[in-house]
Amino acid sequence: GEDVEQSLFLSVREGDSSVINCTYTDSSSTYLYWYKQEPGAGLQLLTYIFSNMDMKQDQRLTVLLNKKDKHLSLRIADTQTGDSAIYFCAETIKAAGNKLTFGGGTRVLVKP
Amino acid sequence: DTAVSQTPKYLVTQMGNDKSIKCEQNLGHDTMYWYKQDSKKFLKIMFSYNNKELIINETVPNRFSPKSPDKAHLNLHINSLELGDSAVYFCASSQPQGAGYTFGSGTRLTVV
C-alpha cells in the first residue's frame, strides 16, 4: 500500500545544512516530490525526481533517492531564515492514477 | 501569468449553504486534481480528472461534485456545507504520469 512518512520537526542554525528525510512503502513510485509550505501559503514545488534517478541538484537543494531502502532526502545548503516552513515529500504511482500521496510534513525552524 | 489559479482565496459561509471553488491552469496539462488539507496540515486527494474525464474519486461525500468543462478547468461544488468541511482546498495539475505537479494557492473554506 501507499504510505509516506517524515519526521515531524527539524531545528537548524542559519548557515548550516538541513537534511529532511522521508520514507515510502510503495516501490512502484513514478515521481517523488518535495514541496514547501510557508504559514498561510500554498504548496510551492521545490523539486522532483524521477524514480530511476539517484540524485538531483538544483542550486542549494540536493535530492537523494535510495530505491533499495525506499528513502528520499532533501538537503538544503546554507539554510536561511526564509527556509523556515513545512516541507512535504510526496510520491506518485501510475497504477493509482498518479495521485500524490503526501507525508505528514516536516516543520523546519531556522534559528539565527 | 499564474500557472494554476483558484478562486476565491478565502470563503466563509454558514452551514447548509452551497458554494463553488473554481480552478484554471494554463500549463497545458491534461490532468487536474482537488486536494484537501485539514487542520493538522495533512493533505489528501479528493478527485482527479484527465482531459475532462473523472479518474479518481477518493471516498468523498456526494455533497462534493467536481465539474470539468474543459481540460484547463476543474471546479468544485459543495452542497449543504458542514462544519467538518472547513479546510484548505488545493487545485493542482500535472503532466502525464504525474510529472510537474503544480498546485494553486489554495482556498481556505470556513464553515460557521
User: In the prediction, which pLDDT does B24 show?
Assistant: 97
Question: End-to-end CA distance of chain B, in Å?
Answer: 34
Residue of chain A minimizing CA distance to B47: A99
B100 touches chain A (CB under 8 A): yes
Distance of CA B97 to the CA centre of its chain: 19
Q: What value does the CA radius of gyration of chain A take, rounded to a whole number of Å?
A: 13
Which residues touch A61 (CB under 8 Å, ≥6 apart)?
A34, A46, A47, A74, A75, A76, A77
User: Model confidence over A48-100: pLDDT tens digits?
Assistant: 999 889 999 999 999 999 999 999 999 999 999 999 999 999 999 888 878 89
Low-confidence ranges of chain B (pLDDT < 70): 1
Q: In chain B, at which residue ranges do the beta strands (DSSP E only) sit?
A: 4-7, 10-13, 19-25, 31-37, 43-50, 53-57, 64-70, 73-78, 87-94, 102-103, 107-111
CB A110 within 8 A of CB A47: no
Is A8 exposed, middle or buried (CB count within 10 Å of its CB: 0-12, 13-18, 19+)? exposed
Residue-averaged pLDDT of chain B: 93
Residue of chain A minimizing CA distance to B46: A99
List the one residue out of A66, A28, A45, A15 whose CA is nearest residue B3: A45
B69 touches chain A (CB under 8 A): no
User: In the prediction, which pLDDT does B95 show?
Assistant: 86
User: In the prediction, which pLDDT does A2 show?
Assistant: 62
Average pLDDT over residues A97-104: 89
Residue of chain B minimizing CA distance to A44: B103
Long-range CB pairs of B57-63, under 8 A, 24+ apart, other chains included: B58/A99
User: In the prediction, which pLDDT does A29 show?
Assistant: 83
Cell of B85: 468541511
Q: Is the peptide bond before B8 cis (omega within 30 degrees of 0)?
A: yes
CA-based nearest distance B96→chain A, Å:
8
- Among B58, B99, B105, the residue with its CB nearest the CB of A42 is B105
- Rounded CA-CA distance B26/B70 in Å is 12
CB B19 within 8 A of CB B8: no
User: In the prediction, which pLDDT does A1 show?
Assistant: 52
User: In the prediction, which pLDDT does B1 show?
Assistant: 67
Average pLDDT over residues A39-55: 91
Rounded to 10 degrees, what is the CA torsion of A36, A25, B98, B89? -50
Q: Which residue has the higher pLDDT, A46 or A96?
A: A46
Taking CB atoms and an 8 Å cutoff, what residues of chain B touch A31? 97-99, 101
The 10 Å Cβ neighbour count of residue A39 is: 7
Cell of B50: 484527465
